[in-house]
Structure 1
Amino acid sequence: MHDGFVLLKRERDLNDKERLLLDGWTKNYSELGAVYRLKEGFYGILYEGPSNPQTAIAAYEAWNEAVVPEVRNAYSDLIRAFTNWRPWIINYF
């Protein structure tokens, strides 16, 4: 497996070697670390988080505010999709 694939895996699914690789990547490239933490945060909202629409909205808004300007471009498509499909996504919760 190429080292970069570690960034695609969920943090909870990493083995010890992959955690070490991830730690190296995120410490040497701070923006990459920010993007990875945001990815994990968004997945946390969708798959492990809120159980009702109000909590889901609050969690998403907190996540959206945490997207720093330096990496906002990496998440622009996701933010736009969530905004456009918000009623249907919130119905999921």
Structure 2
Amino acid sequence: AYSNRRTRRYLRRRAIRHVIPEKADQAANRRKRGGAGGRPPGFDKERYKKRNVVERAINKLKNFRAVATRYDKRVYIFLGTVTVAALVIWLRP
């Protein structure tokens, strides 16, 4: 994810809790500006770990060509494709 004010503002407006770590150079610039730099953005390590697990699961699903390209026109057929891919991943030794 991108760590910048614009992205964080967009997420706040949509009432989405972000899990984006602040980059070291951005933190240094914020501290350099003092009181005008604003407060540090919130960061929850546990939520970040959970996000990582979800992203890795999505990447595993995308290894299946039918899921990655989404040629299916109907949503219920695509859902079935994703379900079969998830079952194959789950049942692999």
TM above 0.5: no
Who wins on radius of gyration, i.e. which is larger?
A: 2
Q: TM-score, normalised by structure 1?
A: 0.27
Higher normalized helix content (fraction of residues): 1
With a CA cutoff of 8 Å and minimum separation of 6, indicate the structure with the bigger relative contact order.
1
TM-score, normalization by structure 2: 0.27
